[in-house]
Amino acid sequence: MSGMTLPFSVLDLAPVLPVVVLSDPADAVPLARALVAGGLPAIEVTLRTPAALDVIRAIAAEVPDAVVGAGTVITPGQVAECVAAGARFLVSPGWTEGLLTAMSASGLPYLPGVSTASEVVALLERGVREMKFFPAEAAGGAAYLRSLAGPLPQARFCPTGGIGTGNAAEYLALPNVGCVGGSWMVPGDAVAARDWGTVEELARGAAGLRGANCR
C-alpha cells in the first residue's frame, strides 16, 4: 500500500470538501457547476441514495473542472462500482482490511475514516497518512485533533460530521487538517428549489476559508 504514488491529494484541492446527497441525477450537473464556479472543485457524492452512481457518472462526464469522488464507501464492491462510474477519489466512514486493500488497489486517492488514535496508528503502519476524521464533533472535535498533532504529526485529516460555518475555521487552523467536509453549501431547500445561485454563493464563502495547510 505504501509504494503507490497517487495522482493528487484530496486534502489540497480546496479548504472545504462539499458532501453531496442527491436523489435526482438531473440535479448533478448544475449543482456541480455551481460548486466549481464558487471555488470548490472537489465534490464528494455519498452513496446514500440509489441515484449516487448516476450522479457521479454525470458529473464526471459533463463537468470537466470538477473532481468528483464517492463517499460512504464501505465495501470492496462499492469501490469497483465507483471507479467504473468515474469517481476520482474515495472516502469511507471507517475501514476494514478488505476495504483498505480495495481502495488502495483502485489507484485512486482515498480517505479511510478514523475516530481513535489507535486507528490512526494502524493506518500509519500501513503507509496511509491522509484520513477522514469522522464523526468529527461527536468523536472529540477540534480539541481531539489538536491533541493528535503532537504524537502523530505524520497524519493529516479531513474532519467531517457536525462541521459548518460556525466551527470550520477552528478545524482549518489546525496544523494536521488539510480540509474539512460539510454540506452547508448545499442546503436541502436550495437544492429542492434548484437555486444554484445560492449554492454558488455559499460555495464561494466556503472557498474563502483558509487553514494552516493552505497552499
Residue 39: other Cβ atoms inside 10 A: 16
Cβ proximity of 40 and 16 under 8 Å = yes
Cis peptide bond upstream of 135, omega within 30? yes
How are beta strands 156-159 and 130-133 bridged, if at all? parallel
CA distances from 86 to 36, 53, 74, 193, 208 (A): 17, 9, 17, 27, 28
- Three-state secondary structure readout of 113-132: EECCHHHHHHHHHCCCCEEE
Would you please indicate which residues are annotated as catalytic (active-site) residues? Answer: 44, 132
- Written as nine digits, the cell of 131 is 484520513
